[in-house]
Amino acid sequence: MRPSTLFGSLAALLLSPVSDAALTTVTNWGSNPTNLEMQIYLPKKLAAKPAVVVALHGCGGSGQQYYQQANYGSYADDKGFIVIYPSSKNDSNCWDVSFPRTLTHDGGGDSEGLSNMVSYLVQKYNADPAKVYATGSSSGCMMTNILLAVYPDVFSAGSCYSGVAAGCFAGSPGNSPTTSNRTCANGDVNKSGAEWAAQVHAMYPSYKGAYPRMQTFHGTADTLVYPQNLFEQLKEWSALLDVSWTRNNTNTPSSGYTQMVYGDGTKLVGYLAQGVGHTVPVHPQMDMKWFGLL
Ligand SMILES: *[C@@H]1O[C@H](CO)[C@@H](O)[C@H](O)[C@H]1NC(C)=O
Ligand SMILES: *[C@@H]1O[C@H](CO)[C@@H](O)[C@H](O)[C@H]1NC(C)=O
Ligand SMILES: *[C@@H]1O[C@H](CO)[C@@H](O)[C@H](O)[C@H]1NC(C)=O
Ligand SMILES: *[C@@H]1O[C@H](CO)[C@@H](O)[C@H](O)[C@H]1NC(C)=O
């Protein structure tokens, strides 16, 4: 079976008519340089100043599909926050994590379009600009790393699954398993924390503030995006957040997961899941806890 056929039947399996109604499609939300699509989960009752969570699908996925994979609806209903489930329609529906335009603050790439979706919700629903979060799986985790790096002024925290450090794909000719050159995915982009931090600072050179908090997961048996990429992310955020490794907690949050704690554990945490492949199951409750939305 060709990968595209596999993605197609997987998406068909995951879709259900009930969930179609759960998401609202938003148009004319602002400058959209790369033709992204925007759908949102609106809670039953909006908070006066709602938080915003951007939930990013992997390659071959869509906002609708990721709503099935990572359903934050009941949490949103409880706390009144809004979840954006955006869709990329380009390059096998992967997010652009390679080209200079997406790796530059307001550079005209996917990261700018996604940031503009957040601004629209701040305007339209009085969303709280201090409570904006990103999450995602695979390509969506790669984009989570990029949003936090390129828009540290917009995002307060990220929590994601099976991705790579922001900038790891810089220079690759594409973003999908077939159009990228695999160097990064294979775990062969190995940099020091200082080198990663310098690359991230260059994405938004005028920014002098703090960087967002990060929680990131990876499986040891992932052969599509090798687990070395977890360690590269941890070096990157350790340098950006100025926290160093303090301890490991084994079998946390469950059997086979090792939690790697940096500093006091409030800014940076990594999870390596023994024997788990690509993609690590989404842990919605842990995402919400990390964002302070629980
Ligand atoms: C392959 O991608 C890496 C980034 O992941 C980049 O540094 C390198 O220049 C690329 N090589 C080619 C030949 O495209
Ligand atoms: C779509 O993806 C291709 C391949 O990565 C890229 O060359 C092109 O610029 C992308 N188009 C948009 C609108 O992002
Ligand atoms: C990455 O580079 C460091 C320092 O050069 C080295 O100690 C480490 O073994 C390398 N890791 C990988 C996976 O290549
Ligand atoms: C902490 O856990 C990681 C992931 O299992 C492992 O690579 C690292 O060696 C551990 N560190 C120590 C000091 O045990």
Instruction: For 19-67, give the DSSP string.
Output: HHTTSEEE---S--TT--BEEEE--SS--SS--EEEEE--TT--HHHHH
Give the ligand 4 atom nearest the CA of 258: 5
CA-nearest residue for atom 1, ligand 1, is 172
The verdict on the CB of residue 175 being under 6 Å from ligand 2 is: yes
From 20-24, 33-37, 136-140, 237-241, the region with the lowest mean pLDDT? 20-24
* Ligand that comes closest to the CA of residue 245: 4
* Ligand that comes closest to the CA of residue 169: 1
Q: Where are the alpha helices (DSSP H) in the chain?
A: 3-14, 17-20, 63-69, 73-79, 110-125, 139-150, 193-201, 228-241, 284-291
Query: pLDDT at position 17, please?
Result: 42
Handedness of CA 32, 144, 68, 127 (dihedral sign): negative
The token pair at 254 is 């469950």
Query: pLDDT at position 14, please?
Result: 46
Beta strand 132-137 with 52-56 is: parallel
CA-closest candidate to residue 247, choices 263, 236, 268, 224: 263
* Ligand 2 centroid distance, CA of 134 (Å): 23
- The model carries a pTM of 0.93
Query: pLDDT at position 20, please?
Result: 53
Could you say which of 62, 115, 137, 138 is catalytic?
138
Q: What's the first-to-final CA gap in the chain, in angstroms?
A: 41
Q: What are the φ and ψ backbone dihedral angles of 52, each rounded to 5 degrees? A: -130, 130
Q: How large is the average pLDDT for residues 28-36?
A: 97
CA-closest candidate to residue 67, choices 140, 8, 149: 140
Cβ atoms < 10 Å from Cβ of 222: 22
pLDDT in tens, 220-278: 999 999 999 999 999 999 999 999 999 999 999 999 999 999 999 999 999 999 999 99
**In angstroms, rounded to a whole number, what is the distance separating the alpha carbons of residues 234 and 1?**
36
* Ligand 4 centroid distance, CA of 248 (Å): 6
Cβ atoms < 10 Å from Cβ of 9: 11
Cβ atoms < 10 Å from Cβ of 80: 17
3-291 maps to which CATH number? 3.40.50.1820
The verdict on the CB of residue 174 being under 6 Å from ligand 2 is: yes
Report whether pLDDT(2) > 90. Answer: no
CA-nearest residue for atom 8, ligand 1, is 171
Query: pLDDT at position 26, please?
Result: 98
Beta strand 82-84 with 132-137 is: unpaired
Report whether pLDDT(197) > 90. Answer: yes
Q: Which residue has the higher pLDDT, 5 or 113?
A: 113
Query: pLDDT at position 1, please?
Result: 33
Give the Å distances, CA to CA, from 148 to 201, 223, 233, 255, 279. Answer: 11, 25, 12, 29, 21
Which amino acid is residue 274, in one-letter code?
Answer: Q
What b/e sequence results for 96-135 when a residue is b if at least 16 CB atoms lie within 10 Å of its CB, and e otherwise? bbbbebbbbbebebbbbbbbbbbbbbbeebebbeebbbbb
Q: Mean of the per-residue pLDDT values for the chain?
A: 94
Q: Which residue has the higher pLDDT, 9 or 115?
A: 115
* Residue 138: active-site member: yes
From 7-16, 74-83, 118-127, the region with the lowest mean pLDDT? 7-16
pLDDT in tens, 125-176: 999 999 999 999 999 999 999 999 999 999 999 999 999 999 999 999 999 9
Q: How large is the average pLDDT for residues 91-105?
A: 98
